[in-house]
Structures are given as C-alpha cells and as structure tokens.
Amino acid sequence: MTRNSTERKVEQYEKAELGFWLYLMTDIILFASLFATYMVLRPNVAGGPSAAELLDPRYALIETVVLLLSSFTCGIAVLALRFKRTRLALAMLGTTIVFGAVFLALELFEFGELIHEGHTWQQSAFLSGFFTLVATHGLHITFGIIWGLVMLLYIAKRGSTANSVRKMTLFSLFWHFLDLVWIFIFTIVYLGAGL
C-alpha cells in the first residue's frame, strides 16, 4: 500500500467518523425533544390512567438489566477484537445481539399488554408521549440489532483488522448511547411515574 492510499483511507475513516458523530448528535437532539415532550404531556391523562397506574418499574428493571448486560458484552467484543481474539469477539457480539433481541421482545410484550388493555397512544397525551418515546428507542434498538448482525458477518469474513476494530468501535458507541438513553427512560418514565 502506498503512502497516498493509506492517507486516503485515513481521510475516509475520519470523514465517516465525523458523520457518525454528527448522526449521534442529531439523535441526542431527537431524544431530548422526545423527553421534553413526554414531560410536558405526562400529566395530561384525559381522565385515563396515569403513569403510576399503568407502568411497572419492576418489569422495566428486567429490561434495564438485559440492556446493561448487552452493553457489557458489547464492550468485551470490542476489546476482544482489539486483542485479535476474533472468536471471542464474535461470541460476545452475538450475545449482545441476543440480549438486544430479548430487550426488544420484552418491550413489545409490554406494548402488547398495554394495547390489549385498551391503553393506546390515542387514549391520552401522556400515552402518546410514552409510546412515541419508548417506541423510538425500540426502533433504534432494532437498527442496532441489524447493524450488529452486519458487523457479525463482516468480522466473521474479515477477522480482526484495523478496519473491523474501527467499525466495531462505532457500533459500540451507538449501542452504549442506546443504553444511556434507556437509563434516562427507566429513570424518568418508570421510576418517575409515581412522582
């Protein structure tokens, strides 16, 4: 590889990384807006049940533990890849994806229960805010699972290269960001339901 091609690859990566950070900043703005909307709409129950009556923090705690475990395994996957332990990285990334899918299944189950009981986003402003915030996070988790599957195939094919480490690091940052957003959701929406 010539020096010019190496410099071009570094420049391409720097542009991709900048693009990723710009995307993450827009996600921060999106979720900040959704949190603000939820906080404003939370007291507006239109004669229906309040957050304290509907939401069970114990159930959300299980979701939180699952997502935190996925964050842990994702971190191990990045470290394993950096130390050229490709099989361990693949196993931990696969575990991260499974935890993400379990989290998503729990979230969908919770939505199903609420909808089955007649509590839809149309019932009140509070439920509109709740469903919009939590479902947007769920869509991001879905995207993260798909990205993780793509990374799994990429690493399985290419192994532990500098490029796979960079790509996995960006995936990891995205995944940890989603965990952080969920911690805020858990704290504000579920634990704050009784306030």
Q: What is the pLDDT of residue 16?
A: 76
Any idea which of 1-5, 140-144, 167-171 has the lowest mean pLDDT?
1-5
Q: What is the pLDDT of residue 17?
A: 87
* More confident: 10 or 158: 158
Q: What is the pLDDT of residue 13?
A: 67
Phi and psi for 40 in degrees, rounded to 5? Answer: -70, -40
In a domain, 158, yes or no: yes
Question: Which pair of structure tokens corresponds to residue 63?
Answer: 């979701």
Q: Give the type of residue at 10.
A: V
In a domain, 3, yes or no: no
In a domain, 85, yes or no: yes
pLDDT tens figures, 109-154: 999 999 999 999 999 999 999 999 999 999 999 999 999 999 999 9
Angle between helices 125-158 and 162-185 (to 10 degrees): 160
Spatial distance between the Cα atoms of 171 and 178, rounded to a whole number of angstroms: 11
In a domain, 2, yes or no: no
By the 10 Å C-beta count (0-12 exposed, 13-18 middle, 19+ buried), 93 is classed as buried
In a domain, 7, yes or no: no
In a domain, 51, yes or no: no
Spatial distance between the Cα atoms of 142 and 123, rounded to a whole number of angstroms: 26
- Evaluate if residue 2 carries a pLDDT over 80: no
Residue 160 DSSP class: S
Residues 89/168, Cβ–Cβ less than 8 Å: yes
CATH number of the structural domain spanning residue 143: 1.20.120.80
Q: What is the pLDDT of residue 9?
A: 65
Q: What is the pLDDT of residue 10?
A: 60
Q: What is the pLDDT of residue 14?
A: 76
Number of domains in the chain: 1
Spatial distance between the Cα atoms of 45 and 124, rounded to a whole number of angstroms: 5
Domain that holds residue 67: 16-43+56-194
Spatial distance between the Cα atoms of 101 and 68, rounded to a whole number of angstroms: 13
Q: What is the pLDDT of residue 46?
A: 87
pLDDT tens figures, 92-105: 999 999 999 999 99
* More confident: 48 or 183: 183
In a domain, 48, yes or no: no
pLDDT tens figures, 4-58: 666 676 667 677 788 899 999 999 999 999 999 999 999 998 888 999 999 989 9
In a domain, 78, yes or no: yes
